[in-house]
Structure 1
C-alpha cells in the first residue's frame, strides 16, 4: 500500500512499504504483518514492537544497517520523514556549493543536535550521501546506545562520532570545538513545553492511530494494551518553553560560531513559530534565512535554515580560514 505522502523525489519510500521484501530481509517482522481492512499488508502502528521491527527491516533492506535497536521507551523515528529532512538539506547544500560538493563530497561534515538513541539522521545521512557526522545529546543512555549502533558497522565507525552535552541548558556551546567546521547542522527539537503537554500530545496520537480500529490491541500480540509506538524520553519530547524557546536559544548560540557553520537548520513543528524565529534571526543579523516545506500527506512539516555568511562567502567556504 503506497504511503499517503508526497515525499522528496529521492526518498526510497515514495512507493510505500514492500512488506514481502521487508519480511524477507528481517524475518522477525513477519509475525507483526497482517492484512488490513483494505486487503493490504500492514502492521499495527500502535504496537511499539511492531514499529521497531519495521524500522529494523527498513534500515536493513534499504540502508544496509545490520544492527539497530533502541531501549524501551525511547523515540522510535518514522524513517520516511527523517530521511526527507536529509534529502532537502542535501538540496540546500547542492544549491550553495554545487561544484565544491562534487570535489569535496567526503568532506561534508554535519552536526546532529539531539541525536537520540536511534542515531537515525547520522545513519541515513551517511548511507545516502556519505557525510561525516558528529552527534550530540544530553542523555548518556542515548549516547551509549548510539555508539553501540555505530560500532557494529565499519563505515559508521569511520564517519560518525558522538559527544555528550554536559550542560542541558546549552546546545552548541560545549559541543562545537574551536577547530570544528560544519557544512550543516540539523535538529529535531523537543516540541512540547511540559510533560503534561507531551502526554496530551501522545494520547492524541494514539487516538488517531486507533480511529479506524476497534481497540488499541494488536491482533498479533497477547492482547495486552500496547505502549506508545513512538516513545520518547524527557529530552526528546519537551523542554522549558517548548520548541520556540529551544530554537531561539539555538539561534543565539549560533551567532557565536557563525563562521564555523555554513548552514544551521532545525525542524519547526508549528508554522506560527516561523515569523517569531525570523524576528530572532533578524535580531542576530543572519544574512540568509530559508524555510523549506516538506509535504507528507495531509501533514506539512518544515525546517528553518539560516547562515551568517552571504552567498559569496558561502561559495568560498572551503577557502575561508
Structure 2
C-alpha cells in the first residue's frame, strides 16, 4: 500500500470495537492466531467499515442500502493518496477540487478525500438510490455536506457531460469503473471472490451468496466491460480538457491497458500508470491530461 496509508498494519480490533461496539459480534480468533472477521459476511464487512470510518476518519455514522457494494476502505484510501502524489508533482497543494464518477451509495471516495486532505468533492451517479444514499451519508458528520456535492447523471451515454457544469474546473476526476462485461461474468467473479474468502455458508444458493455480498448491475458490469467503458471515458474527456487538470481511473485488468494506451495516444494525451497493491490484489491507476 501507499506509505501514507494508515491501514498498512493489521487492524486494531480492540480499538475499533471500542469506537464501534457492534463490530464485536463479528470478530473472532483466526487460524493465524490474530483477530479477524469473516470477509465473506456482508454484515461483518459493513460493521468493519463503520468502525474504520468512525475510528480513523472521524465519521459520526455511515451506511449503505441492502445489496449495494461495501467497499474495502484501505484500497479506497490508497487511490486518494496516489492522486495526492500526482497533484503534488504539479505543485497543486491548496483549494483542490475533485470529481468522482460513479460515486455509489457508499460515497466513499469523496468522504475519504475530504477527511484525509480536506478536498472539496463532487460525486456523480446514474442510480437514483445510490444518489440518495450518498447524500444521506454526508448528513451525520459535521462538515461533509458543505464540502461534498452529489449530482445525478441522467444520461447513461454521457460520463462527464451533464455533470461538469459550464465554466466549472476540477483538479482531477476519479473513477472505479464496472469491470465485468455481463451479469453472468459479474456473478462468476463474485462467486470466485467468495470462494477465496472462504464463505462457510455452503447451504446458501449461488443467487443468495451473490446478492448478500452486494453490488448492483451498474456497479459491477456494463456492455463491453472495463476496457470499453474506459475507452469511452477517454474519448469524452477530450471535450473537457480545459475543465479538468488530471483525469484518472482504476484499471482492474492488466490486459486492458493496450486498448487504453491506444486511445490515449490517438488523442495525444500525456499519461502515466501507477501500480497499486493491496494484499494479494493488484490493480492500476491510469492518469491522463491534455
For normalisation by structure 1, the TM-score amounts to: 0.87
Contact 1:46 1:216 in 2 (8 A): no
Contact 2:231 2:260 in 1 (8 A): yes
Match of 1:178 in 2: 166
Match of 1:92 in 2: 86
Which deviates further from its counterpart, 34-43 or 137-146? 34-43
How many residues align structurally? 287
Contact 1:194 1:242 in 2 (8 A): yes
Match of 1:250 in 2: 233
CA distance in 1, matches of 2:266, 2:254: 20
Shift of 1:224: 7.0
Which deviates further from its counterpart, 295-304 or 22-31? 295-304
CA distance in 1, matches of 2:66, 2:209: 10
Match of 1:300 in 2: 282
Whether 2:25 is the aligned partner of 1:31: answer yes
For normalisation by structure 2, the TM-score amounts to: 0.96
Contact 1:74 1:117 in 2 (8 A): yes
Match of 2:111 in 1: 123
In structure 1, list runs of 5 or more residues that go unmatched: 1-6, 218-222, 309-321
CA distance in 2, matches of 1:227, 1:273: 28
Shift of 1:227: 3.9
User: SS in structure 2 opposite 1:53?
Assistant: helix
Contact 2:41 2:213 in 1 (8 A): no
* Residue from 244, 255, 264 that aligns with 1:261: 244
CA distance in 1, matches of 2:201, 2:32: 18
CA distance in 2, matches of 1:300, 1:25: 30
Shift of 1:37: 1.5
Note the alpha carbon deviations across 1:60-118, whole angstroms, 9 max, x for none.
Answer: 00001111000110000000001000001100110112xx41xxx2x200000000000
Contact 1:165 1:174 in 2 (8 A): yes
Match of 2:253 in 1: 270
Shift of 1:151: 1.8
Shift of 1:299: 2.4
CA distance in 2, matches of 1:266, 1:163: 19
Whether 2:36 is the aligned partner of 1:42: answer yes
Shift of 1:230: 4.3
Match of 2:154 in 1: 166
Aligned CA RMSD, in angstroms, stands at 1.5
Equivalent residue runs for 1:218-229 within 5 Å: 227-228=209-210
User: SS in structure 2 opposite 1:290?
Assistant: strand
In structure 2, list runs of 5 or more residues that go unmatched: none
Shift of 1:297: 2.7
Contact 1:77 1:230 in 2 (8 A): no
Contact 1:48 1:227 in 2 (8 A): no
User: SS in structure 2 opposite 1:301?
Assistant: strand
* Residue from 196, 201, 217 that aligns with 1:216: 201
Contact 1:33 1:43 in 2 (8 A): yes
User: SS in structure 2 opposite 1:180?
Assistant: coil
Q: Of the two, which has the highest radius of gyration?
A: 1
Note the alpha carbon deviations across 1:208-231, whole angstroms, 9 max, x for none.
Answer: 111xx7x337xxxxx978744641
CA distance in 2, matches of 1:230, 1:216: 12
CA distance in 2, matches of 1:152, 1:119: 13
User: SS in structure 1 opposite 2:272?
Assistant: strand
User: SS in structure 2 opposite 1:71?
Assistant: coil
User: SS in structure 1 opposite 2:282?
Assistant: strand
Shift of 1:26: 0.3
Shift of 1:294: 0.9
